[in-house]
Structure 1
Amino acid sequence: MPPLHVLVTPTVAARADFARTATRMRERCGPALALHLRLPGATGRKLYGLTRGLAAAARRHGGWVVVNERLDVALAAGAHAAQLGSQALPVREAVTVAAGRLAIGASVHGPEEARGAARDGANYLVLGTIFATPSHHDVEPGGGDRIAACRAVDLPIVAIGGIDLSRVPDVMVAGASGIAVIRAVWSATSPVEAAVSLARALEPGEPR
């Protein structure tokens, strides 16, 4: 599983330079990058087309494309994983439908949900909210303690919520296998360079 998950929101996908930026990001980050499509308002047709294009680039350069919620689109378009939250198809049923054709990620918020996702067959966890973030201002962040509390579950943990380059060492020391970000990449002057810096910081052997 790639350690760097860069989320693509509707605002990001609507940027005039999105396709070019995503291609360059894939070329520079290679296997370290998962582009994670979180596009709740997109039609199935639009999401399918976008996923297929990004998946083709991933086949050339390595890495993953992850589709949020829409297991059907993920399977049809050749994505590497589907990310399932509380409103999506239950993990157990998704694992059965996927039949090993792609990875199933589960969005969790603590040890109990993490254990449940593991029992149901999830391949990895996206755990939040780790640090305060404007998009979840009403949610109490859990910090590194939340990551540490979920380490007993034998699944890779992708930490999400308020993570930037300066916080990578903290989340990795706490036990995360990777991070998921939005603003740390897309609000940067150069999203590509920001992604490259994060990917390098996540490499094994980097100082923590």
Structure 2
Amino acid sequence: MVAAKLALPHPILCLVTDRGLCRDLDDLASRVVAAVDGGVNMVQVREKGLDGKPLLLLTERVIQRVAGRALVLVNDRVDVAMATGAGIHLPEASLPVAEVRRMAGEHVALGRSVHSLDAALQAEGDGADYLIAGTMFATRSHPGESLEGPALMRRIADSVRIPVLGIGGIGDRNAVQVIASGASGVAVISSILATSDPSEAASRLRRALTQRESAGVR
């Protein structure tokens, strides 16, 4: 199954999934749909430790339910992404971007997580379509990671031509700091999935991004 690569939205509001914040996979899928209803336009299915078959079924389900409204990518599992027609997001320690680009072709949306300017430049040169840079702020999902903050975002955004998203402890109150540092959007987990109303949480984040955009900051 091959899907044409969708143009990356702007600004990007990316939801990174975590089934640990949900009752089960059904609840996760429902929360993803609610988040897209609220303004999420990119979904990264990131379910480490989930077997291939349930991950494939989850990805297919998400794609079907958000078709035309959000770009769906799979974290790390290139096989699942290619089988479902999803895009691919590579952790920094995963396969080389250039290798995956050759495998998947030019039509597939391909992103890379980075934590330094050197890694960002390498990923761009190897064919990544976008980057996710972190860690911006303290986060419960990765408590041991060093905080690079918006200063890292500024260094990367000033040096690459592809979109860069910030990740790590981002909510509607501090998203503007990341955008002001040159980000093309943000990626979030608990600020949407850990709430009682994912749609409203996404709407608040969308408003924060849009307000900053209207003020002339990319």
Q: Fold conserved (TM > 0.5)? A: yes
Structure 2 residue aligned with 1:47: 55
Structure 2 residue aligned with 1:160: 167
- 1:66-105 correspondence runs (5 A): 66-79=73-86, 81-105=87-111
Query: Which of 18, 35, 39 in structure 1 is aligned with 2:28?
Result: 18
Shift of the alpha carbon at 1:14? 4.3
Query: Which AA in structure 1 matches 2:140?
Result: P
Query: 1 or 2, which has the higher helix percentage?
Result: 1
Query: Which AA in structure 2 matches 1:85?
Result: P
2:22 and 2:70 mapped to 1: Cα distance?
Answer: 19
Structure 1 residues 76 and 14, CA, compared in 2 at 3 Å: closer, same or farther? farther
1:188 and 1:206 mapped to 2: Cα distance?
Answer: 28
Greater relative CO, 1 or 2 (CA 8 Å, sep 6+)? 2
Q: Gapped runs of 5+ residues in structure 1? A: none
Shift of the alpha carbon at 1:144? 1.2
Tell whether the 8 Å contact from 2:171 to 2:191 is kept in structure 1 after alignment. Answer: yes
Structure 2 residue aligned with 1:6: 15
Query: Which AA in structure 2 matches 1:77?
Result: T
Structure 1 residues 190 and 71, CA, compared in 2 at 3 Å: closer, same or farther? same
Structure 1 residues 65 and 92, CA, compared in 2 at 3 Å: closer, same or farther? same
1:101 and 1:51 mapped to 2: Cα distance?
Answer: 18
Give the secondary-structure state (helix, strand or coil) at the position aligned to 1:134.
Answer: coil
Deviations 1:80-107 (A, max 9, x none): x211013422111001111123111011
2:163 and 2:145 mapped to 1: Cα distance?
Answer: 23
1:54 and 1:134 mapped to 2: Cα distance?
Answer: 25
Structure 1 residues 139 and 147, CA, compared in 2 at 3 Å: closer, same or farther? same
Give the secondary-structure state (helix, strand or coil) at the position aligned to 2:214.
Answer: coil
Deviates more, 1:106-115 or 1:96-105: 96-105
Tell whether the 8 Å contact from 1:75 to 1:101 is kept in structure 2 after alignment. Answer: no
Deviations 1:9-40 (A, max 9, x none): 131354353333322332342xx421211111
Give the secondary-structure state (helix, strand or coil) at the position aligned to 2:191.
Answer: helix
- 1:171-182 correspondence runs (5 A): 171-182=178-189
Tell whether the 8 Å contact from 2:19 to 2:28 is kept in structure 1 after alignment. Answer: no
Q: Gapped runs of 5+ residues in structure 2? A: 1-7
Structure 2 residue aligned with 1:205: 214
TM-score between the two structures when normalised by the length of structure 2 = 0.86
TM-score between the two structures when normalised by the length of structure 1 = 0.90
Query: Which AA in structure 2 matches 1:194?
Result: A
| Superposition CA RMSD, Å | 1.8
Give the secondary-structure state (helix, strand or coil) at the position aligned to 1:121.
Answer: coil
Tell whether the 8 Å contact from 1:33 to 1:199 is kept in structure 2 after alignment. Answer: no
Shift of the alpha carbon at 1:207? 7.8
Structure 1 residues 168 and 109, CA, compared in 2 at 3 Å: closer, same or farther? same
Deviations 1:148-168 (A, max 9, x none): 110211110010011111111
Q: What is the aligned length?
A: 204
Deviations 1:143-193 (A, max 9, x none): 111001102111100100111111111100100001111111122231211
Shift of the alpha carbon at 1:135? 2.7
Query: Which of 43, 46, 51 in structure 2 is aligned with 1:35?
Result: 43
Query: Which of 139, 142, 156 in structure 1 is aligned with 2:145?
Result: 139
1:37 and 1:12 mapped to 2: Cα distance?
Answer: 13
Deviations 1:34-60 (A, max 9, x none): 12111111111111111111111222x
